[in-house]
Structure 1
Amino acid sequence: MAHENPSREYIKQMLALAGNIAVVGLSDNPERTSYMVAKAMQDRGYRIIPVNPNADVILGEPCYPSLSAIPDPVDIVNVFRRADQVVPIAEEAVKIKAKVFWLQLDIINEEAAAVAKQGGLDVIMDRCIKVEDAILNPRNK
């Protein structure tokens, strides 16, 4: 059966409860989408934890080579990797007891969704976390 994302109201609750967002595939290049999305989320008050084995610090936060290396609890695992690379990330998200497995816009992998769901995580696929947060939690600047 094909994955269905939770309702917008449920996603709003997920975001409201999120403290730490691990961003797998976060680039240190400010021109990359992953950087722009993570920076926007950080600017909106979320703590971003970069997961990138090729960088030391991104957005002022220390980078970790994997989800398992993060010493703090992770609420949302936000993934910027190709769809064919996300099953092991889902397995690791389950292992660290994350709460939400979030695949960014245009990333769809039913096997990864099933792994995460079976591990007790909420799953969102093919949605941009920045866009969802902006729609569901509008803030005046």
Structure 2
Amino acid sequence: MSRIPAEIATFLASHHVAVAGVSRSGSGPGALIAKRLRDSGHAVWLVNPAANAIGGVPCYPSLSSVPGEVGSVMVVTAPADSVKVVEEAIARGVRAVWLHRSFGKGSVSPAAVERCRAAGVTVVEGGCPMMYLPPVDIAHRVFRFCLELQGRVPR
């Protein structure tokens, strides 16, 4: 795999990651990303205001309720909700935020991106950690290639 962009390296350097917007069903991108992060050695906290647990893993209603350190936040919410998550991340002193996106809008909100930048928080606009965390499956290799061509992930 080619080099990892600086923003992504900063995000992945944190051992403590919260994933905001994990579906209550335990399926979908948030759950898959949380599992891959865990499998890669990260301590992962799930955040969803409508769940106490997802797939047997404790879930917190907000970033402010997550115990202990949170160095990075993965945002897998609707774009309209990403600004609120970013505000909570900034209030916690989070160093990096990743706004998930594949081919649609995903979680990317221009207001959330600008808020991160204004606060000095590293922000990854689009893509998915599964494009970078080994082993990278063929689907995520293809996604990364296509999104790089479109300028929709950091290079």
User: Bigger shift: 22-31 or 70-79?
Assistant: 22-31
Contact 1:108 1:126 in 2 (8 A): yes
Contact 1:94 1:120 in 2 (8 A): no
Match of 1:125 in 2: 125
TM-score (norm. length: structure 1): 0.80
Structure 1 residues 91 and 34: CA distance shift in structure 2, 3 A: same
Structure 1 residues 71 and 129: CA distance shift in structure 2, 3 A: same
Contact 1:12 1:133 in 2 (8 A): no
Structure 1 residues 60 and 43: CA distance shift in structure 2, 3 A: farther
Deviation at 1:119, TM superposition (A): 1.4
Q: Spell out the pairing of 1:43-58 with structure 2 (5 A cutoff).
A: 43-58=39-54
**1:87 counterpart = 2:89:** no
Structure 1 residues 28 and 68: CA distance shift in structure 2, 3 A: same
TM-score (norm. length: structure 2): 0.73
Q: Which runs of 5+ in 1 are unaligned?
A: 1-6, 137-141
C-alpha RMSD of matched pairs (Å): 2.2
* 2:16 alignment partner, one of 17, 20, 30: 20
- Aligned partner of residue 21 in structure 1, secondary structure: strand
